[in-house]
Amino acid sequence: MIRLHNVERSYPLGRGQLFYVLRDIDLDISQGDFVSVMGPSGAGKSTLLHILGMHDHGWTGEYFFDETATHHLKAKERASLRNEKIGFVFQQYHLLDDLTVYENLDIPLSYRHYSKSERTALVGDALDRFQIVGKKDLYPRQLSGGQQQLVGVARAIIAQPKLLLADEPTGNLHSSQGEEIMKLFRKLNEEGMTIVQVTHSEKNASYGKRIVQLRDGWIV
Amino acid sequence: MIREIRFAFRRLARSPGFVVIAVVTLALAIGASTAVLSLVNALLIRPLPYGAPQQLVLLLQHFKSQNLERIPVSPPEFVDYESRAQDFDKMGAFGFLDFNLASGDKPERIAGAQVTANVFPLLGVTPIKGRFFEPTECQVGRDDVIIISERLWQRKFNRDPRILGTKLLLDGKSFTIVGIMPARFDFPLQLFNLGAGGQFGGRADIWQPLAFTDKALSLRSYRSYSIVGRLKPGISLAHAQAEIETINGQMRIEHKDNYPPADSFGGDVYPFQELAVAGMRPTLLILLGAVALVLLIACANLTTMLLARAAAHEREMAIRVALGAGPLRLLRQVLTESVILALLGGVAGVLLAIWGVDLLKSIGAQTVPRLREVNLDLRVLIITFAVSVGTGIVFGLVPGLASANPELTESLKEGGRSSTMGKSRNRLRNAIVIAEVALALVLLTSAGLLMKSFVRLQKVNPGFDSHHVLTAEVSLPKLKYPDDKAIVRFSDEAQRRIAALPGIQAVGLTTILPLAGSNSDSSFAIEGRTNDRNAPSPDEEKREVSPDYFRAIGTPLIRGRFFTQADNADAPLVIIVNQAFAKKFWPNEDAVGKRVVMGGMSPDPKWITIVGIVGDIRHAALDVEPKPEMYVPFAQDPYKSMIFAVRGAQDPRPLASAIRSHIQSIDPSLPLANIRTFDAVIAESVAPRRLSVVLLGVVLLATVGIYGVMSFLVVQRTHEIGVRMALGAQRADVMRLVIGRALQLIAIGTAIGLLMALFSMRALQALLYHVSAVDLPTFFFVTFVLALVALAASYLPAQRAMRADPMVALSHNT
Ligand SMILES: Nc1ncnc2c1ncn2[C@@H]1O[C@H](COP(=O)(O)OP(=O)(O)O)[C@@H](O)[C@H]1O
Ligand SMILES: [Mg+2]
């Protein structure tokens, strides 16, 4: 489903020098895979995930998504591809503070072509499925960290993406809360969702099917 | 506390960008307020530079039926008042008089005054050298003494300590210097230049005793002097006024022929200070209101910025509380920070104000009385200090209270993002923005209305064409030019020589120039109209002009003819009137050919024939409708002071030195004074109004403030925008969100602002010219501009936030 070839990401260091965050990345991820990206801090894991999630386009190389050469797409086309196929879970949840749980879940749908009734149905499904119906009118800061991340995951998959990307989704959670998220991920994967997660924990990685190790920008 | 201050400085140093914006915002607002405060202080509050000025009054007269107000007093009337009034400790008369001072090969015109012996003592001042005038020196023949100013002493005599007793040649006559007045002494103030007496002259540098001739003492119509007096302690203004009215009544009975029997004639006692400031008060109060609004806006700006900072620091605050800090401590911490900011702004503001005061002075030119006295004194500095501290507390209070009660559990919640902006805080910030928009709208509207007035005024047709016209004054000394013939010989020769210069189209001469601040009038009678003995005879403005005067200033001839060289002293008397005059007295007839006589009707009247009608001229001010005017040939009624008006083909300024040397080739002892373009004369006449245009600068501050705050609000949302983009928002979605919010705030703000403006603009009415206080186009325009600014302020940062990849926005920490 995903093929990266010779992907490189660098930042200018000044005086014409470049600092390489990712070097010569070749990576294949097939449909239904569950990959854990691991490596020390600063290795480039988040950078890689942002590239996969098309949040970044300051990189070089080739990135095929379902045979689409995304490196040839215009920003707008890339954004619409992203909207259609990808969901993202953040370490810091990034829920919108001024919106209720319900409204937070509705946001991705509001940016896509869903009718009013579809939106209501989808949000309702998600609330049921993640068992947060009782929290739908609360604001994020009225939830525990684990509950917030639960909403974060629900929001990431509500628009039914094919690929779920998660950058240290349990990094800010207790281990028990983290476990729940991991079980949820496994369940999603079993239902056919392709998942790429970044994690520091061997235990979390064990929920996945394979591990990609990053070190100083290189896959080892 | 010291520690607290040190911490505050350290915290501020951590966000230099914020400090710079905050200090600049405050400096501009405090600077503007300080400049205006020093203006108000010097012009409205600070007492006049005389001893116990509250007891000083001016006494002037009026003829209500002729619409004459604040007119000067004649010598015999002064004697009546002085000898009879009991309420006055002392009373003195004074008049303006300019002197030609012979000095080397370049004679100089020096502004001065004549004063009776009482004037200096009653003002409660002392000379720095020498003495005042003795009463005996106020007699004809013994009045050859003068007092000079410290400024003149410095400039002409290099502070020569043996100055007293030195003789000075003024207008060809020798005077002995008997005293020196300190440099800051200023009398008479320019605004008392009521009678004829030249254009707005400089500050008096020479004083001469006022000695009335026997003839002058017999002429009740020779109104040339103003009276200054000091009331006895405990005497009220009303009491003095009543006494003056009694004396006026006696004068009417004793001199039936001189006064209309109706009580349309009278004298008025004005508080000196009041008369000195009255004209400036509306402008100053409006400026004061404007800077108060600007200060409020600056406070609102800083409150929003500090609120945002408080949100960013909420976690830090929560940690402090967890460590045991009470809410008061936290409040103190925030207030220390805000007061430090305000004081920094205050210091920068004072520096700005020093420059601002200079600017105000140059704008106000010399037509605004006492403007030279404006400075930043201790009183203004103390008020500025208080305002700064007060400002700091005002804008620190709300954020301080917000920080002092952090929502502990949430802020400290593990993993909770540091910036959790509460709904209520958002509402508060929105309310502040709305208030700010409303205030700015009021300011913008006032500035808009004033600007429109100013522009309208510039477009007013004054009745003449001032471009390419140079004006200059000459005053002939009595000794050398004892009679009319000598004066006319000089004026003819001067005009002839100037006209011969290359590039000159016309040379005219007048005794009184429009918009230059002086005026003169005369009563007259019309042939064939029997005047009701009880009604006052008509009285209208009158000037003496040369044949080419109207051509020189570009005033059109409507009917009849201009004067010619043939209209001289030997020819039949002629007169030209303006349209307003013709219309007033001959509404349905042709005025040309009609005859009038100056003064009252007499058994053997000297008839003067109207030979022409010219266009109306706005004489008193651009915003005052033209009045009826009479022009007589200078040659038939010469006067020692004359103003040349020279029209050049191009900019006539380069001709000034040639004109001067031509005048001096006729008489080397004659100085040419007040050489200015006619354009400059007009510009000066609207100087007080220009002060109100300073509002524009102030408004700019307000607009920048709005821009700052609105864009700040959007920058605050950079992170949110990033999240939304990552979740699939398109540019249009984000723009709709951001601009929608901005529009909402602006709509509410402008609605409130428009209401406020509607009610407050009446205060402006006095300063408006042909613009309604509820001028809809201005209101629309201003609203439009404000909306545009606010939209730009939202659009640009939103644009920036979206141009970056979501990755960048997501890592943006608010
Ligand atoms: N905007 C940037 N400019 C320069 N360097 C950056 C930028 N963003 C990330 N980096 C660097 O890239 C490297 C990899 O970052 P990241 O992908 O976040 O690492 P991690 O594996 O911990 O998620 C780090 O050394 C980081 O300093
Ligand atoms: Mg990372």
A11-15, A212-216, B724-728: which has the highest mean pLDDT? A212-216
CB A45 within 8 A of CB A39: yes
Q: Pick the range with the lowest mean pLDDT from B189-198, B374-383, B691-700, B790-799.
A: B189-198
* B441/chain A closest Cα distance in angstroms: 30
Asked whether residue B417 carries a pLDDT value surpassing 60, the answer given is no
pLDDT of residue B88: 95
Output B279 or B638, whichever has higher pLDDT: B638
- Chain A residues lying within 8 Å of B723, measured CB to CB: 94, 96
Backbone angles phi, psi at B509, to 5 degrees: -145, 140
- Which of A21, A214, A216 gets mutated to test ligand 1 (max ligand atoms within 8 A of its CB)? A21
Token look-up 């020189």 returns B552
pLDDT of residue B424: 65
* A74/chain B closest Cα distance in angstroms: 13
Runs of H (alpha helix) within B323-418: 327-364, 378-404, 408-412
Percent of chain B with pLDDT over 90: 35
Give the helix/strand (H/E) hosting A149. helix A145-157
Q: Which two tokens stand for residue B635?
A: 């040659």
Domain end marker among B633, B664, B684: B684
Asked whether residue B662 carries a pLDDT value surpassing 80, the answer given is yes
CB B515 within 8 A of CB B621: yes
Best mutation target, B413, B430, B727, to test chain A (most A CBs within 10 A): B727
Give the helix/strand (H/E) hosting B787. helix B776-803
CB A151 within 8 A of CB A124: no
Query: Nearest chain B Cα to A105, which residue?
Result: B727
Asked whether residue B533 carries a pLDDT value surpassing 70, the answer given is no
pLDDT of residue B688: 67
- Domain ranges, residue B215: 53-273
Asked whether residue B564 carries a pLDDT value surpassing 50, the answer given is yes
CA–CA gap between residue B585 and residue B538 (Å, rounded): 10
Tell me if chain A has a CB within 8 Å of the CB of B503.
no
Say whether B417 and A92 touch across the interface (CB within 8 A).
yes
Domains: count for chain B: 3
Mean pLDDT for B43-57 is: 85
Domain end marker among B661, B684, B707: B684
Asked whether residue A198 carries a pLDDT value surpassing 50, the answer given is yes
Indicate if B366 and B294 belong to the same structural domain. yes
Give the tens place of pLDDT for each residue, B704-715.
Answer: 778 877 887 787
Indicate if B619 and B496 belong to the same structural domain. yes
3-class SS letters over A132-145: CHHHCCCCHHHCCH
- Chain A residues lying within 8 Å of B423, measured CB to CB: 98, 139
pLDDT of residue B775: 87
Asked whether residue B198 carries a pLDDT value surpassing 60, the answer given is no
Backbone angles phi, psi at B245, to 5 degrees: -65, -35
Backbone angles phi, psi at B207, to 5 degrees: -120, 140
A56-70, B19-33, B393-407, B673-687: which has the highest mean pLDDT? A56-70
Asked whether residue B315 carries a pLDDT value surpassing 50, the answer given is yes
Strands of A86-89's sheet in order across: A86-89, A163-167, A194-198, A34-38, A210-215, A218-219
**For ligand 2, a single-atom ion, which residues have Cβ within 5 Å?**
A 46
Q: Is residue B464 part of a domain?
A: no
- What confidence category does residue B233 fall into, taking pLDDT thresholds of 50, 70 and 90? very high
- What confidence category does residue B421 fall into, taking pLDDT thresholds of 50, 70 and 90? very low
Token look-up 């990712």 returns A22
Q: Pick the range with the lowest mean pLDDT from A42-51, A147-156, B797-806.
A: B797-806
Output B31 or A96, whichever has higher pLDDT: B31
* A79/chain B closest Cα distance in angstroms: 7
Q: Pick the range with the lowest mean pLDDT from B220-224, B507-511, B753-757.
A: B220-224
ipTM of the complex: 0.82
Rg of the Cα atoms in chain A: 18
Mean pLDDT for B74-99 is: 92
B458: buried, middle or exposed (CB in 10 Å: 19+, 13-18, 0-12)? exposed
Q: Which of B465, B496, B316, B323 is nearest to B403 (CA)?
A: B316
Output B348 or B451, whichever has higher pLDDT: B348
Q: Which of B640, B526, B542, B697 is nearest to B28 (CA)?
A: B697
pLDDT of residue B135: 92
From chain A, which residues contact B within 8 Å (Cβ)?
Answer: 50, 53, 55-58, 79, 82-83, 88, 90, 92-94, 96-98, 107-108, 110-112, 139-142, 144-145, 148, 155, 159, 172-173
Domain end marker among B684, B711, B745: B684
Mean pLDDT for B652-671 is: 88
Tell me if chain A has a CB within 8 Å of the CB of B410.
yes
Asked whether residue A204 carries a pLDDT value surpassing 60, the answer given is yes
Indicate if B86 and B131 belong to the same structural domain. yes
| Atom 27 (ligand 1) nearest CA | A42
pLDDT of residue B199: 40
Omega of the bond leading into B633 within 30 degrees of 0 (cis):
no
Say whether A83 and B733 touch across the interface (CB within 8 A).
no
| Atom 25 (ligand 1) nearest CA | A42
Indicate if B99 and B207 belong to the same structural domain. yes
Q: Pick the range with the lowest mean pLDDT from A44-53, B136-145, B454-463.
A: B454-463
In the 8-state DSSP scheme, what is residue B225?
B
Backbone angles phi, psi at B614, to 5 degrees: -110, 170
Indicate if B197 and B325 belong to the same structural domain. no
Indicate if B576 and B700 belong to the same structural domain. no
> DSSP for B700-715?
HHHHHHHHHHHHHHHH
- Which of A11, A49, A91 gets mutated to test ligand 1 (max ligand atoms within 8 A of its CB)? A11
CA–CA gap between residue B787 and residue B549 (Å, rounded): 52
HSE, CB side, 13 Å, CA atoms: give it for residue B195: 20
The ligand that comes nearest to the alpha carbon of residue A20 is 1
CA–CA gap between residue A44 and residue A120 (Å, rounded): 38
pLDDT of residue B203: 80
pLDDT of residue B460: 87
Closest CB to A98 among B414, B415, B426: B426
Mean pLDDT for B165-178 is: 91
Token look-up 């992907």 returns A7
Indicate if B545 and B449 belong to the same structural domain. no
- What confidence category does residue B419 fall into, taking pLDDT thresholds of 50, 70 and 90? very low
- What confidence category does residue B742 fall into, taking pLDDT thresholds of 50, 70 and 90? confident
CA–CA gap between residue A61 and residue A198 (Å, rounded): 22
Question: Per DSSP, which regions of B426-512 are E strands?
Answer: 469-475, 504-510
pLDDT of residue B322: 63
CB B172 within 8 A of CB B201: no
Please report how the helices B687-715 and B16-40 are oriented relative to each other, as an axis angle in degrees rounded to 10.
160
Positive or negative torsion for Cα B743, B746, B748, B754: negative
- Chain B residues lying within 8 Å of A155, measured CB to CB: 727
CA–CA gap between residue B448 and residue B696 (Å, rounded): 8
CA B737 vs CA A79, B6, B80, B217, B732: distances in Å: 19, 41, 81, 84, 8
- Domain ranges, residue A188: 2-219
Domains: count for chain A: 1
CA–CA gap between residue B539 and residue B264 (Å, rounded): 14
Say whether B726 and A97 touch across the interface (CB within 8 A).
no
**What's the mean per-residue pLDDT of chain B?**
85
In the 8-state DSSP scheme, what is residue B48?
P
Q: Which two tokens stand for residue A40?
A: 């020390």
| Cα B317 to ligand 2 centre (Å) | 27
Query: Nearest chain A Cα to B729, which residue?
Result: A111
Indicate if B161 and B108 belong to the same structural domain. yes
Indicate if B35 and B82 belong to the same structural domain. no
Asked whether residue B321 carries a pLDDT value surpassing 80, the answer given is no
Other residues' Cβ atoms within 10 Å of the Cβ of residue B214:
8
- Chain A residues lying within 8 Å of B308, measured CB to CB: none
Closest ligand 1 atom to the C-alpha of A44? Answer: 17
Pocket of ligand 1 (CB under 6 A): A 11, 21, 41-47
- CATH number of the domain that A38 lies in? 3.40.50.300
- Residues 4-23 (B) with a CB less than 8 A from some CB of A: none
Q: For B87-109, give one letter per residue: b (16+ CB within 10 A) or e.
A: bbebbbbbbbbbbbbbeeeebeb
Give the tens place of pLDDT for each residue, B236-254.
Answer: 999 999 999 999 999 988 9
Indicate if B37 and B60 belong to the same structural domain. no
| Cα A47 to ligand 2 centre (Å) | 7
The set of residues, in sequence order, having a beta carbon less than 8 Å from that of B727 and lying 6+ positions away, is A88, A107, A108, A111, A155
B533-539, Cβ contacts within 8 angstroms, sequence gap of 24 or more: B534/B260, B534/B261, B534/B262, B535/B65, B535/B260, B536/B63, B536/B65, B536/B66, B536/B260, B536/B262, B536/B264, B537/B600, B537/B601, B538/B66, B538/B585, B539/B63, B539/B66, B539/B68
Q: Which two tokens stand for residue B343?
A: 């004081």
CA B26 vs CA B21, B30, B48: distances in Å: 9, 6, 32
Indicate if B630 and B719 belong to the same structural domain. no
CB A52 within 8 A of CB A165: yes
The ligand that comes nearest to the alpha carbon of residue A44 is 1
Indicate if B679 and B693 belong to the same structural domain. no
CA A37 vs CA A46, A195, A204, B248, B726: distances in Å: 9, 11, 11, 107, 21
Please report how the helices A145-157 and A101-110 are oriented relative to each other, as an axis angle in degrees rounded to 10.
20
Q: Is residue B234 part of a domain?
A: yes
Give the tens place of pLDDT for each residue, A173-188.
Answer: 888 888 989 999 999 9
* B813/chain A closest Cα distance in angstroms: 12
A38-43, Cβ contacts within 8 angstroms, sequence gap of 24 or more: A38/A198, A38/A199, A38/A200, A38/A205, A38/A211, A38/A212, A38/A213, A38/A214, A39/A213, A39/A214, A39/A215, A40/A215, A43/A214, A43/A215, A43/A216, A43/A217
Other residues' Cβ atoms within 10 Å of the Cβ of residue B223:
19
CB A166 within 8 A of CB A89: yes
Tell me if chain A has a CB within 8 Å of the CB of B729.
yes
B172: left (phi over 0), alpha (psi -120 to 50) or beta: left
| Atom 3 (ligand 1) nearest CA | A11
Positive or negative torsion for Cα B216, B221, B225, B227: positive
